Structure 1
């Protein structure tokens, strides 16, 4: 039986959840820190302590080609600090190839049960060989084998291809004797913009963005506020 065009026209316009109410707004007075890393740490710790959030470090990573064609996928945050946000991957994967062509990247965290989102934009750069080696050696043995088994993003005939390769590597490399492949390592996204979003049921969502100031920009502390550690912050209309 063939499907008609209207069979694909699914209207889900009425799907919506209640977010925060007017007694739970996120205002500038609620900022834990006047710079984004401290504020992220506070929200991240709250997400980690929320039982409904199973992977608080899960984030969407968006990259683009040299020509600007975008792609996005979920990865795991593995560290953060004033220097930036860190994750690890195969450098030969689609995201790795795109970051080589175009180092601009965006990260998005969405913690649904908290009605919160954090959006990070910045430049991705590879971490040091020492850092990549250290993290690779800290991974479980099966994960190390998995990193070697897969030429990430390449086309394969079937899952059996991976299973055969995995068996070969398990026989060849006993536990504790695996070196990090040259094509695998870390990235650090050095942010120039970090936005904190909290959803409101009336859709007048709260959005506070930290960013690096522009050259010779006037900080009036009305629209643009002076933050700490070289950051400014401002409220965005929802």
Structure 2
């Protein structure tokens, strides 16, 4: 009896709007915590958090029924957030070393990005969104996916080159946030299996935990072959 009651309570919480709001508050809270707790702050990483947090807050304000204006604004903020994170990674990436040591890996990743982007375009393009500006919606969706794929590839190359805990945490964060968004694409456009949504939320939260951990100055080391020490 108690087990059934607890099960119904948990299900009600998962299905409620409160759960969605709490999930959207994670990044804004983490942004405030980063601003307060970290003495040494990176401008690009802070802009990444602020942009992403702003988009999440707009989602909370408007609820589940986003207007077209807020849709474009939120997704533009997410794209800018990923671009800021990309700039953050480029600060520690030496293109000369990358081309000299990891040219083959770079080419393979470029091909993989093009392939995955083509697959995502094949999923998005046939969808008829309820809008009078269908072309702009598809352009925004494709831009979002392309930036995310490039971010994932660059974060992996950054890990290959620097081989530090900081670069590892950054890569894990980019990997999990990418999987989170790709699961959401599957959930919204291919299947309505609810568990995909919850897995995506968990991955998104885990990604930002990784992003926060990489800001610890104690792990920002250039020593090679010691990332698991």
Kindly name which structure, 1 or 2, has the bigger radius of gyration based on alpha carbons.
1
Q: Tell me if TM exceeds 0.5.
A: no
Give the TM-score taking structure 2 as reference length.
0.25
Greater relative contact order, per chain length (Cα 8 Å cut-off, separation 6+): 1
- Give the strand-richer structure, 1 or 2: 1
Give the TM-score taking structure 1 as reference length.
0.24
- Give the helix-richer structure, 1 or 2: 2
